[in-house]
Amino acid sequence: MILVIAEQRDGKLNRATWETIVGAQQLAKVSGAPITVLVPGAKAAGVAAELAAAQTNEVVTVEHAALEPYTPDGFTATLQAVIAQLSPAYVFLPHTYQTRDFAPKLAARLDRAIVTDVTAVKAVAGETAFVRPMFQGKLTADIVPQGPAPHFITFQIGAYRIDQVVKGPAAAPLRALDVTVDASTIRQKPEAPFQQARQAVDLSQAERIVSVGRGIKEQSNIALAQQLAEALGAEIAASRPICDAGWLPMERQVGSSGQTVAPKLYLALGISGAIQHLVGMKGASTVVAINKDPDAPIFEIADFGIVGDLFEIVPAMIAALKA
Amino acid sequence: MAVVAFWLLFVAFVGAFAAQVARRVQLIAGAPNTFSTDNLRLRANRFLVDVVFQARTIRERPMAGIAHALVFWGFVAFGAYTLTEFLRGLGIVDLTHSGWFNVYRVMLAPFAVAVLGGILYLLIRRALVRPVALGTKVSLESIVIALFIATLMTTYLLTFQLAEGTMAERVNWWVHMLVILAFMALIPASKHFHLVVSPMTVFLKSPELGNLPNLDFEKEQVGLETVKDLGSKSVLDAFTCVECGRCQVNCPAWGAGKELNPKTIILQTQEALLAGTRDRKLGEMYSDKVLWQCTTCGACENQCPVGIEHLPILIGSRRGLVSNGDAPDYLGAMYNNLERRSNIWGLGYDQRAKFVQSAGLETFDPATHDVLVWLGCAGSFDADFQKSLRSLFAILRAKDVRCGVLAKERCTGDPAKRTGNEYMFQELANGNIEDLKASGVKKILTSCPHCVKTIGNDYRKFGYDVEIEHSSVFVEALLRKNSAALSATGSAAFSGPRETVTFHDPCYLGRYAGKVDEPRNLLTRFGADIVEPERNRDNPYCCGAGGGLLFADKEEEPGSRISDVRFKQLQATGATTVVTACPFCSIMLKGAQASAQADTQFVDLMTYVKDRL
């Protein structure tokens, strides 16, 4: 059985969990192993219901006082108890900061193999191997974990695309799991999580971004871009001149001296595409550029390019989105 | 009686002088030896130009410089006079009645007048005009020294008026000699110590601007961490500083209102050395904030009239910080890019391959190609700068120059070297040197002045010797040959309309490589009337990109952006076209232009030439 450990906080799912489910489904397709998704922590029910859409054998929740707030000791102890009950062959986790915090400890506690930052699963000479980068990505290694089960596997964020998740014909059955954990083994007392003030706007997590450049011409025109952003449900961002001029706050600057973003959609309005801007958005999945200069470097990297006047195109887009 | 008194005074004052000098010599001798005397010819030449003819002193401040030269030459001229008077005063030998001395004494008169004029000018300048470079408060000691010098000259001139043996003549002689003795005792602890050491410092200054010998990791060298790590040349530098502030007023960071002041760096070094705080952390002493404000433009070092090298201290301290993991966040991101992708942008090399293919470039083969074109990080990835390279390739093709490129390039390591990440620099450099050696290249051509410096100077320190030229130099020579054949006058066949442009000298081309005429010749030959900006040729004002600052956040930069200051200087020429010759200057200045909402046109030198070929 493949046990996927979901990650959530306050009932909000970390989307990397979906990617890990893809990894599990790909292995299950070959080995035929059943998949169990475990949602640990308070308010797990909503997340479990959401994850039940994927084709798995069951989704189990475990809500225990030892899990809230998050501590590596609490998670290790709880998951140790869960693993003892379910005895999986593999434990799959998204390679998040939280996973990095407790998974090595959990594997060490159980004296089991762990393969981290995995990008793919494949068969090597009849055995299941996990592919991971080595030496800063210069090499990749196929690793076959040895020793008794379970083997711990953490998947690199972005190893799989979320839209590769196979949905089930019906929702997977839900089950709540009871475990006994000695809460006195928890040695950490964490403070409430907080966000560093400097980056009040975290564009790196935005799924859609409307970004404006000098082609916007006047400060008053920023409103037009803002309307488009609202219609798209996107964050607004800008290139350096706009933030230098104070038309948008510094924290919305994208580029080598601003934030680095990786949205699904990056809509560049009147951005020429200077290299120091491009490096801040190179992770975007789809880049749409509107610029009146057909030679603008932004078109070199755009998936879709519109050569024209953004003051004609943007209102038309807003109208179409609202229709 | 008088002889005994003079001996006592002589021993006391010269003893004071010697004790102070000994302390400084001890500090220099105790420091890790960084003296070198390679390239004697260049050193001798520089000694002649900068010490004997005072060129660097005069160049930037002609009036004050000439006044200083008059005082300097006067001092030299008076050397034998002073010696003769001392020999007499000490009762060793009296040569003052010999024929040659009297001829010599008379010949000194015009020198004395010149010194008086010079010192009076300098005194007024320091006490009343008070230029910013000399500091905010008037140095009392400098005023005293100036008055001493004036007294020496006056007492000398009075000897022609006073009959020998008279009371007045004796008093005059004693005043003269006592002033010299007091002067000597004052010298070592003051900026006037440069009288004694600056000729040596100038001679010992590296022939290469911004000379940064490789760290030897086998010997566990990690750069400069504390005061005791400063090399002997840096210690000598600290005692040589004359506090003229040329480094300060030419520093682009200081000019843009940042905390960095190269003069302060040197004076802080001096203070720490004398205080004996050998374990003081340099990152704290200079402030790590200040250390990261240097663009490594080299203006301080290049303008210094007494041979001080600022960059080994600034970058050496950065090395110490980086070795301890204390680099700013934006550099951490850039180092990651260099480590993972071997380029500053962190982009994949498929993009370079795409450009190489679309530009129709072949992999270099010494059998078929004349030169190897080094693309660099900008040429490999920056679509904007690639336009300039396409222009270069068009020019080369038009003139039947066959060129190729390496199949694979890494960043030369310039941003790593200049920000003190020596380990990363050496990794990149060794990889590139291996590939360059394997390619069999004899001559490299590049449009990036930083690559010229790094491959041309820094790679040489690994024993790899290759000729590398900036495209402006290569193309200028290429088209010169060609146009000479075309027209009898040797001037260009260009007959289009002339255009007023201004040219921004890249620091690494104009100042480091000294190539200032080649780009101008090209521009003029192809129809440009150049209006020079303030700060040009071999002393340009930096665009703000060097030393890793291309990646700095605005919030991490107090004062104005250096690029904004430079852009205003270029705008002030009135020219609406700015010609650039470095990808990083182009990025910075275009950024400044966009922020200023100005209509200035930027064109790279190669594109300018190609469009008019």
- Does residue A159 sit in the same domain as residue A204? no
Do B428 and B459 contact (CB within 8 A), yes or no? no
pLDDT in tens, A55-83: 999 999 999 888 989 999 999 999 999 99
* Domain boundary, last residue among A162, A185, A208: A185
CA distances from A178 to A41, A64, A76, B249 (A): 12, 8, 15, 73
**Is A192 domain-assigned?**
no
Any CB–CB contact under 8 A between A204 and chain B?
A: no
User: Is A275 in contact with B594 (Cβ distance < 8 A)?
Assistant: no
Per the prediction, chain A carries an average pLDDT of 92
At the top level of CATH, the class of B217-323 is mainly alpha
CA distances from B299 to B284, B309, B560, B579 (A): 24, 10, 19, 21
d(CA B77, CA B69): 12
pLDDT in tens, B155-182: 999 999 999 889 999 999 999 999 999 9
- Does residue A259 sit in the same domain as residue A290? yes
How confident is residue B499, by pLDDT bands cut at 50, 70 and 90?
A: very high
Any CB–CB contact under 8 A between B350 and chain A?
A: no
User: Is A214 in contact with B594 (Cβ distance < 8 A)?
Assistant: yes
The proportion of chain A whose per-residue pLDDT surpasses 90, expressed as a percent, equals: 72
User: Is A256 in contact with B555 (Cβ distance < 8 A)?
Assistant: no
- Does residue A228 sit in the same domain as residue A110? no
HEC assignment per residue over chain A: CEEEECCEECCEECCHHHHHHHHHHHHHHHHCCCEEEEEECCCHHHHHHHHCCECCCEEEEECCHHHCCCCHHHHHHHHHHHHHHHCCCEEEEECCHHHHHHHHHHHHHHCCCEEEEECEEEEECCEEEEEEEECCCCEEEEECCCCCCCEEEEECCCCCCHHHCCECCCCCCEEECCCCCCHHHCCCCCCCCCCCHHHCCCHHHCCEEEEECHHHCCHHHHHHHHHHHHHHCCEEEECHHHHHCCCCCHHHEECCCCECCCCCEEEEECCCCCHHHHCCCCCCCEEEEEECCCCCCHHHHCCEEEECCHHHHHHHHHHHHHC
pLDDT in tens, B232-253: 999 999 999 999 999 999 999 9
- Does residue A203 sit in the same domain as residue A54? no
Residue A144 sits in which domain range? 2-185
Domain ranges of chain B: 2-204, 217-323, 335-611
d(CA B454, CA B415): 10
- Does residue A226 sit in the same domain as residue A316? yes
Chain A residues whose CB is inside 8 A of the B339 CB are 136
Amino acid, single-letter form, for residue B116: L
- Does residue A288 sit in the same domain as residue A178? no
Whichever domain contains A148, its CATH number is 3.40.50.620
| Predicted pLDDT of residue B488 | 41
User: Is B550 in contact with A276 (Cβ distance < 8 A)?
Assistant: yes
Q: Is residue B384 scored above 50 in pLDDT?
A: yes
The proportion of chain B whose per-residue pLDDT surpasses 70, expressed as a percent, equals: 97
If one counts every other C-beta atom within 10 angstroms of the C-beta of residue B369, the result is 20
Helices and strands (H and E) in chain B: how many: 29, 9
d(CA B127, CA B147): 12
Partner residue facing B383 (CB), from A240, A258, A297? A297
Closest chain A residue to B334, measured at CA:
A256
* Domain boundary, last residue among A185, A217, A243: A185
Whole-model pTM over 0.90: no
User: Is A275 in contact with B587 (Cβ distance < 8 A)?
Assistant: yes
- Does residue A215 sit in the same domain as residue A122? no
Give mean pLDDT, residues B379-395.
Answer: 95
Any CB–CB contact under 8 A between A240 and chain B?
A: yes
Q: What domain count does chain A have?
A: 2
- Does residue A156 sit in the same domain as residue A16? yes
- Does residue A280 sit in the same domain as residue A176? no
Q: Is residue B71 scored above 50 in pLDDT?
A: yes
Q: How far is B550 from chain A (nearest CA, A)?
A: 8
Any CB–CB contact under 8 A between A137 and chain B?
A: yes
**Is A23 domain-assigned?**
yes
Q: Which two tokens stand for residue A270?
A: 């009147």
**Is A72 domain-assigned?**
yes
* Domain boundary, last residue among A153, A185, A217: A185
Q: Which of B483, B481, B478, B470 is nearest to B605 (CA)?
A: B470
| Predicted pLDDT of residue B64 | 95
Which residues touch B9 (CB under 8 Å, ≥6 apart)? B178, B181
Q: Which two tokens stand for residue A139?
A: 């090499």
Whichever domain contains A209, its CATH number is 3.40.50.1220
- Does residue A153 sit in the same domain as residue A209? no
- Does residue A33 sit in the same domain as residue A173? yes
**Is A191 domain-assigned?**
no
Q: How far is B604 from chain A (nearest CA, A)?
A: 15
Buried b (16+ CB within 10 A) or exposed e, A57-66: ebbbbbbbeb
- Does residue A10 sit in the same domain as residue A159? yes
| Predicted pLDDT of residue A197 | 55
Give mean pLDDT, residues B148-152.
Answer: 96
Chain B residues whose CB is inside 8 A of the A260 CB are 333
pLDDT in tens, B441-478: 999 999 999 999 999 999 999 999 999 999 999 999 99
Q: Which of B590, A216, A283, A256 is nearest to A236 (CA)?
A: A216
Do B573 and B542 contact (CB within 8 A), yes or no? no
What letter would DSSP give residue B594?
H
Which residues touch B276 (CB under 8 Å, ≥6 apart)? none
What ipTM score was computed for the predicted complex, to two decimals?
0.76
Better pLDDT: B350 or B312: B312
The proportion of chain A whose per-residue pLDDT surpasses 70, expressed as a percent, equals: 97
